[in-house]
Structure 1
Amino acid sequence: MLATAGTFLGTAASYCCCMACRCAQKNIFARSARAGYCVLFTLAMVLAWVMRNYAKPLIEKIPWVMSHAAADDSKWFGQQGAYRISLGSFIFFALLSLIMTNIKYKSDWRNKYLQHGGWGIKFALWLLFLIIPFFIPGGLEWYGWVARFGSGLFLIVQMMILLDATGLLNDLWFSKSEENPKYMYLLLGVTAGCYIGTVAMAAVGFWIFKPSGGGSCTLNILLIVWSLLLTVGFSLMSVHPGATNGSLFPASVMSAYCMYLCLAALESEPRGECNGLENKAESASAMFFAMMLTLGAVIYSAFRAGSNTSTFFTTSEDGDEPTEKPLLEGAEAGTSAGLDGEDAKAPEIQKASRDDKEGRAMDEFTPVTYSYSFFHAVFALASMYMAMLMTSWGTGDGSALIDVSWASVWVKMGSQVVTALLYCWTLVAPIVFPDRDFS
């Protein structure tokens, strides 16, 4: 009786799962392909984390990998597991990026059948690409070096997106303030809030990473003071008469972001007397929550960077009409909301127009709302960044914690320096090249 009931429940559960997947494909993934790819990337990150901590029993059974194994080193096994999942995810998204090259209009068959359709086949290929790297003999230390380079590109893309967003937002609010003074108050309020937040983060940094009785902690103090000096430098440069593109709003946002990178770097320090987090117990639930926050931040960054391609692509290859929407028009165009350019307010009208011959004819000249190839390229780079997070940038020093090592510290501080240089260049470039248009 119990066996029969168990079989019935198992069959019912399988049927429900299948129906849920079919419903998701028809109602969610068909309208927002990016949601589907984010799900696949999320699953890959979770699998990489699982392999990072529990890969040893599996890899020990693979003789062509064990021939190059370090002597019973659990960290090595975890590193190899994370590398192979990351490599599989990279191959999957890199292949999609190549296939989706030069899609400019919605009438392209790849838009319907590859980007927005065929999810069953794509899921099977995704699984296949995750499995294939486990058949590669020996260690994958070479992939670790490649992933370091790809991760650096991923971080640079994020910085450029942030710089572009702050500049566009500043121009948008300032132009609207001429008609509505509320936008000027909003601009001033956010600017003040960012400066207050920067000082508050610095205070928290001194409190946590220069604990009483923890010694001099010279390095931590130096990094925090350096970040505060960047804030002063950004502000002075932005109000200089020669900085025609200068404004305190972008300066405040970049100051807050650089201070955040400083705190993130200090948090990645291996636990010691100068890291106040050493005294806080790392419970299983707290570690899981921290892991989910880290993974969520990476997924969101990849999604936004891949969708907002206006920073890198402004016109079609023919140069006659734009194929990308401005970053701040995502709410209307769907470039960052997740509907891939469909109007969420009138789905019935859209369905009727798609069924109508005239509507199909118009689709032949309707540009896609974001670059599919660039979107997948960003997720391919994010897959490499995933490997670096899981292995503490290839050092294997993170033990049970994600992204904790001295390599992580200096990568984040390096990102801060690059961000500062990029922002300073936006202020200096119009002075150095007065004949060029930087608007």
Structure 2
Amino acid sequence: MNKSWCCAGPLCCYCMCGICMRCCGTSHQHHIRIAYLIITAIAVFFGLIFLYYGKELMLPWEHYGFNCNGMKADACYGINAVYRETFAICIFYIFMALMSRQNSKWFIEFNNGCWGLKLISISTIFIFTLFIPYEFFDIYKEFARYISIIYLIIQLSIYVDLSYTWSDNWTKIYEQSNFTSYKYSLLFFFSGIFWVISLVTTVLNYYWFSKDTGCNLEVFLITFTLSLGIVYTFISLTNIVEYGSLLTSSIVNLYCVYLCWDGMTDDPNEKCNTWTDAQDTFVEIIIGISIVSIALSYVCFRKREKIKEQSILRILAESILAKIDPNEDEDIFQEMGKSKKLFPFYMFMALASVYLSMLLTNWGSANVTNNSAKTYDE
């Protein structure tokens, strides 16, 4: 009876995966990546819980003297709990990346399954972080700020690849339909929509961040971002670059406008920054999570293809996409020597985990209680 129950779980998973393979055209490798995406989503969910309700959750433990080896009142909750959680996720992905270089049989089995054990492992690492002095995470916070820049560049490359793929696929459909498909017109429509959103956001940025006469730096950054968008949109419409794409330039421009806005919302100068209360912080976090979710989902679902005359950004994105050869067996990753291909993916997920520590804490200045840009009273 017990043996039957042990087999029922894996059998159910295999049946569900088989349905997805046939209906959605996905592969076993995609399902593995989707599972890691779900784990990361769970981490984001608990990160928000720790950020907004961590104090209430940790109060019962304070009676036992449990204070995360720190003298700060919020050493176990708030932004400090988010740092500990994302650090645990990062350690897990780094471990998986290092093990993927070993080509061992046990890693192949562990990578393809053992999801309950993986969740237990991450939870155990997180519990261990509660015994690390909070001073360590002050250093980790500064480290994460610089590492997150690398992630944002890679995320930009993912959006470039996404936009090129989107444009190429719809252009092919248009050509195969003897130039009668409406999707080519939709490319111009969406490009226009993205540009309108960028322009509206830029105008609002001037309103939000340049109210005072001393906000010259903010005005320069907004204007510089707008100028860049106009320049590379103009370039994409000319023959200066062979593979110019209006859709790509509009998406990249929107992404740059977002980065400009996100950066200025962290400006400590309240005369130039109107995004300072708790409600604004929540909006920033939700928008950031949405953008990261699109990028991570694309990495998990997108099949890697050989692209001629690739740009540097597309080459960067290609290294972390799933490389699937339709002529190979679906159980390719059960073979020895294939696990090394997962190394870039795991390192990317580790970078994403570090960036989440900045995203969920608004780069270390999350304000959820309208208390002078601090998470909780100290």
Asked if Structure 1 and Structure 2 have the same fold, meaning a TM-score greater than 0.5 normalized by the shorter chain, the answer is: yes
- 1:252 maps to 250
Q: What is the CA deviation profile of residues 179-226 of structure 1, one whole-angstrom value per residue up to 9, with x for unaligned ones?
A: 324343233323333333322222232344445xx5564333322221
Equivalent-residue separation in structure 2 for 1:61 and 1:227 (angstroms): 50
Q: Deviations over 1:255-284 (max 9, x none)?
A: 222223223333344483434445xx756x
- Picking from 292, 298, 317, the partner of 1:298 is 292
In structure 1, the residue matched to 2:99 is: 99
Shift of 1:90: 1.0
List gaps (5 residues or longer) in structure 1: 1-20, 315-325, 344-360, 406-439
| Alpha-carbon offset, residue 109 of structure 1 | 7.5
User: In the alignment, is residue 400 of structure 1 matched against residue 373 of structure 2?
Assistant: no
Amino acid at match of 1:143: Y
* Residue 159 of structure 1, CA deviation: 1.0
Q: Residue 128 in 1 paired to residue 124 in 2?
A: yes
What code does the residue aligned with 2:39 have?
Answer: L
Match of 2:147 in 1: 150
Counterpart Cα distance in 2 of 1:157 and 1:197: 23
Contact 1:25 1:119 in 2 (8 A): no
Instruction: Output one character per residue of 1:37-83: Cα deviation in whole Å (capped at 9) or x when no partner.
Output: 233223323333444453675589347823xx4xx464796444332
Residue 381 of structure 1 corresponds to: 351
Q: Residues 42 and 187 from structure 1, CA distance in 2 versus in 1: closer, same or farther, beyond 3 angstroms?
A: closer
Q: Which residue of the partner structure matches residue 46 of structure 2?
A: 47
SS in 2 for 1:135: coil
Taking structure 1 as reference, are residues 121 and 252 closer, same or farther at Cα in structure 2, changes over 3 Å only? closer
Return the structure number with greater relative CO, CA threshold 8 A, min gap 6.
2
| Aligned mates of 2:33, 2:66 — CA distance in 1 | 35
Which of 115, 118, 131 matches 2:114?
118
Which residue identity is paired with 2:170? W
Aligned to 2:186: 186
Post-superposition offset of 1:234:
0.9
Letter in 1 for 2:204: V
User: Which of 62, 69, 77 is the aligned partner of 1:65?
Assistant: 69
Q: Distance in 2 between matches of 1:90 and 1:262?
A: 26
State, as a whole percentage, how many aligned pairs show the same letter: 20
CA distance in 1, matches of 2:270, 2:344: 41
The CA deviation at 1:95 is 1.7
1:400 aligned counterpart, secondary structure = coil
Following the alignment from structure 1 to structure 2, what is the Cα–Cα distance between the partners of residues 100 and 307? 20
C-alpha distance in 1, partners of 2:329/2:77? 54
2:81 corresponding residue in structure 1: 81
TM-superposed CA distance for 1:137, in Å, is 4.6
2:4 equivalent in structure 1: none
Pair 199,102 (structure 1): closer, same or farther in 2 beyond 3 Å = farther
Residue 347 of structure 1 is matched in structure 2 by: none
Rounded to whole Å, the distance in 1 between the matches of 2:259 and 2:117 is: 40
Map of 2:6 onto structure 1: none
8 Å contact from structure 1 (residues 209, 275) kept in 2: yes
* Runs of at least 5 residues in structure 2 that lack an aligned partner in the other structure: 1-8, 21-30, 308-316, 374-378
Partner of 1:173: 170
Distance 1:63 1:73 in 2: 8
SS at match of 2:44: helix
**Aligned partners of 2:170, 2:102: CA distance in 1, in Å?**
34
With over 3 angstroms needed to count, the CA separation of the structure-2 counterparts of 1:73 and 1:384, relative to structure 1, is same
The whole-number CA distance in structure 2 between the counterparts of 1:255 and 1:62 is 48
Q: CA deviation at 1:291?
A: 4.4
Cα distance, 1:122 vs structure 2 = 1.9
- Native 8 Å contact 1:80 1:139 kept in 2: no
Partner of 2:313: none
Q: What secondary structure is seen at the aligned counterpart in 2 of 1:377?
A: helix
Letter in 1 for 2:149: G
Residues 379 and 217 from structure 1, CA distance in 2 versus in 1: closer, same or farther, beyond 3 angstroms?
same
Q: Do the aligned residues in 1 keep the contact of 2:281 with 2:367 (CA within 8 Å)?
A: no
Deviation at 1:306, TM superposition (A): 5.0
Check whether the contact 1:271–1:277 (CA below 8 A) recurs between aligned residues: no
Q: 2:260 aligns with which of 255, 259, 262?
A: 262
Contact 1:201–1:259 under 8 Å retained in 2: yes
- Cα separation, partners in 2 of 1:289 and 1:389, compared to 1, 3 Å: closer
Match of 1:139, SS state, is: helix
AA partner of residue 96 (structure 1) = M
TM-score, normalisation: structure 2:
0.68
Residues 1:176 and 1:27: Cα distance change in structure 2 (over 3 Å): closer
Q: What is the root-mean-square deviation in Å for CA atoms of aligned residues?
A: 4.6
Q: Deviations over 1:69-118 (max 9, x none)?
A: 4xx46479644433221221111122223334488xxxx8855x323422
Where 2:257 maps in the other structure, the secondary structure is helix
Shift of 1:378: 2.1
* Structure with the greater alpha carbon radius of gyration: 1
Give distance in 1, aligned partners of 2:15 and 2:49: 30
Distance 2:200 2:68 in 1: 53
- State whether residues 281 and 362 of structure 2, in contact with CA within 8 Å, keep that contact through their aligned partners in structure 1: no
Number of corresponding residues: 332
Return the match for 1:310 from 290, 294, 304: 304
Contact 2:285 2:359 in 1 (8 A): no
Distance 2:254 2:134 in 1: 44
- Tell me how far apart the structure 2 counterparts of residues 125 and 76 of structure 1 sit (CA, whole Å): 20
| Paired residues of 2:148 and 2:354 also in contact (CA < 8 A) | yes
TM-score normalized by structure 1? 0.60
